[in-house]
Amino acid sequence: MNVRVGILGATGAVGQRFIQLLDDHPTFELAALTASEESAGKSYREAAKWRVNTPIPDDVASMTVGRTHPDDVADDVDLLFSSLPSSVAAEVEPLFLDEGYVVSSNSSNDRMAEDVPLTIPEINPGHLDLIEIQREERGWDGALVKNPNCSTITMVPTLAALDEFGLERVNVTTLQAVSGAGYSGVTSMEIIDNALPHIGGEESKMETESRKLLGAFDGSEVTLHGMEVAASCNRIPTLDGHLESVFADLADEPSVDEVARAMREFPGIDLPSAPEQLIHVFDDPSRPQPRLDRDRENGMAVCAGGIQETTHGVKYNCLAHNTIRGAAGASLLNGELLVEEGWV
């Protein structure tokens, strides 16, 4: 079965990743591209400042970019991926939902809304059933599903693996790539030979979204996981790939080998864009590294290493590709799950 998909915000950093990942997708057929009024009416080649490391697919280059409005998206598009600035997404996503579109969104608005599934398919696929409640409460024919913030998604699979040892408290420090801020996010004068110890809003996203993702869903609501999370977020001059140092306090006292096993054996999911192995664990304490490890399994794997025991639990480093597993790849996987579960 072919599913016709569109991208809202198709010209941006994440939008370009969507186009790259959708090229040759087994079931998704790209049928609509939207961006701002400034890009609308232009061919995609003219409108996008293409910056990813594969050429624009020929059939996409000649497509016309529409306005980000339901009137510019054909009715027979089944699924929309959204990578708009969150202030724009908050205004326009409801227009598409009212019209019955299913939207798999990467933008941060509504991630913590009680009736909106915030999902990582390998971690909490059951939370998709919140769509029933969302439709009742908001009167939408469509459905809205969010993926988490890129720093959150880097850490949460490893925390999910640790949960069997009783997760009590998590402290995390991030070293985030410049692509996370978008193409015009930080200037070269700000970031070269430097590190920026503040990323607006990022810390609270990690502290709250992680608890929702690992929260229990009883069929009507998600109860946030009881762990405490404290985050410190920093920008460094890498291009792609967020590296994070996690200190996790646990109720049990697992050995390093037991923690490594729990991470390595954490189950994946059978979807076209999912990695074979969700968490790649290194014995070499100098890995993972952004440049060497961010592209594992097409940028969809999470890496971990440097696992050591601490007084109250363990510490380790983890890494994921922020614009693939942390953004476009995450929405794409949610889209595949929506199709698999019959919501599209």
Ligand X SMILES: N[C@@H](CC(=O)OP(=O)(O)O)C(=O)O
Interacting residues with ligand X (CB under 6 A): 86, 108, 149-150, 176, 180-181, 199, 202, 205, 322
The distance of closest approach from Cβ of residue 106 to ligand X in the complex, given in angstroms and rounded to an integer, is: 6
The distance of closest approach from Cβ of residue 231 to ligand X in the complex, given in angstroms and rounded to an integer, is: 12
Helix (H) / strand (E) containing 291: helix 290-293
Q: Which is nearer to ligand X, 65 or 150 (CB)?
A: 150
- Report the SS3 class of residue 325: helix
The distance of closest approach from Cβ of residue 108 to ligand X in the complex, given in angstroms and rounded to an integer, is: 4
The distance of closest approach from Cβ of residue 213 to ligand NDP in the complex, given in angstroms and rounded to an integer, is: 15
Q: Which is nearer to ligand X, 115 or 203 (CB)?
A: 203
Q: Which of 127, 242, 280, 321 is catalytic?
A: 242
**Partner that binds at residue 176, options ligand X, ligand NDP, none, CB closer than 5 to 8 Å by kind:** ligand X
Which residues touch 140 (CB under 8 Å, ≥6 apart)? Answer: 94, 97, 98, 100, 134
**Partner that binds at residue 191, options ligand NDP, ligand X, none, CB closer than 5 to 8 Å by kind:** none
Yes or no: say if 157 and 279 are a contact pair by the CB < 8 Å rule: yes
Residues engaged in binding ligand NDP (CB under 6 A):
9-15, 35-36, 38-39, 68, 83-86, 88, 106-108, 150, 179-180, 182-183, 322-323, 326-327
- In the residue annotation, 242 being an active-site residue is answered as yes
Residue whose beta carbon is closest to ligand X: 180
Q: H/E/C letters for each residue in 91-131?
A: HHHHHHHHCCCEEEECCCCCCCCCCCCECCCCCCHHHHHHH
d(CA 114, CA 123): 18
Question: Burial of 303 by CB count in 10 Å (0-12 exposed, 13-18 middle, 19+ buried)?
Answer: buried
Cα of 288 vs its chain's centroid, Å: 19
d(CA 147, CA 172): 20
Q: Which of 150, 233, 303, 318 is catalytic?
A: 150
Yes or no: say if 168 and 227 are a contact pair by the CB < 8 Å rule: yes
Q: Which is nearer to ligand X, 145 or 150 (CB)?
A: 150
Q: Which is nearer to ligand X, 78 or 209 (CB)?
A: 209
Task: Enumerate the active-site residues.
Answer: 150, 242
